[in-house]
């Protein structure tokens, strides 16, 4: 299995195109109000228009109603929602098949929450007090090895070009997700690090 790569928090059309040229499979556009990588709907639409189709563009959302999330998809043309707040399993189910839940993990109990989320896909990220994601912190990857064998797992949290190969070899995730690990500053992608991340993640999983 060749692990897919998602670069999250792109903030310009130029970044998006460059990441796709480097072999990235999916891009995240962030609509979370507290994020330094937040974009508006106009820019998200421009990114979709530039790279959407062969490249999946994912809207990162939190604290929105199901109706508002559906309307966002309609207006921007994104292909999928990454639901990153305190939304319920029922909320996620209402958005399927083009949505998945991001669950913050620090314990086996958190992994059980992720296991209970509906849909084929689920994301796991580091649990950091006061933050929804994009913190650059990793968690104990061994907690989600079993989950990765049963679900299409998107692994996030503190991944970098230096450690992603180890993460892929241990966990065998369907996709790895990176934001701060390939940035020179929040929202500014370092294309050299993006290239190195993609190359390191393209290892064959032992799973």
178 alpha-carbon distance from chain centroid: 7
Around Cβ 152, how many Cβ atoms within 10 Å?
A: 15
- How far, CA to CA in Å, does 173 sit from each of 23, 80, 99, 133, 167? 18, 19, 18, 18, 8
In the block, residue with structure tokens 């990857």: 141
Cα–Cα distance, 183 to 180 (Å, whole number):
5
Token duo for residue 35: 């994020």
User: Out of 19, 25, 80, 125, which one is annotated catalytic?
Assistant: 125
E strand or H helix that includes residue 57: strand 56-61
DSSP β-ladder status, 80-83 and 99-105: parallel
Cα–Cα distance, 121 to 37 (Å, whole number):
24
Instruction: Tell me, yes or no, if 19 is annotated catalytic.
Output: no
Instruction: Tell me, yes or no, if 125 is annotated catalytic.
Output: yes
User: Out of 8, 19, 80, 175, which one is annotated catalytic?
Assistant: 8
> Catalytic residues, which ones?
8, 125
């Amino acid at each position: 299995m060749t692990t897919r790569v998602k670069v999250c928090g792109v903030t310009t059309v130029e970044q998006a195109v460059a990441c796709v040229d480097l072999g990235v499979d999916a891009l995240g556009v962030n609509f979370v109000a507290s994020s330094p990588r937040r974009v508006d709907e106009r820019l998200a639409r421009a990114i979709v228009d530039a790279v959407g189709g062969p490249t999946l563009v994912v809207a990162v959302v939190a604290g929105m109603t199901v109706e508002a999330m559906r309307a966002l998809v309609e207006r921007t043309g994104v292909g999928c929602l990454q639901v990153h707040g305190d939304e319920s399993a029922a909320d996620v189910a209402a958005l399927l098949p083009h949505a998945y839940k991001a669950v913050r993990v620090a314990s086996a109990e958190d992994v059980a929450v992720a296991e209970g989320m509906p849909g084929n896909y689920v994301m796991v990220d580091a649990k950091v007090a006061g933050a929804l994601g994009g913190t650059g912190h990793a968690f104990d990857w061994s907690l989600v090895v079993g989950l990765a064998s049963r679900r299409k797992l998107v692994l996030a949290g503190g991944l970098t070009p230096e450690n992603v190969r180890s993460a892929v070899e241990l966990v065998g995730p369907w996709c790895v997700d990176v934001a701060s690990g390939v940035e020179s500053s929040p929202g500014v992608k370092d294309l050299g690090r993006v290239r190195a991340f993609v190359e390191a993640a393209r290892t064959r999983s032992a799973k």
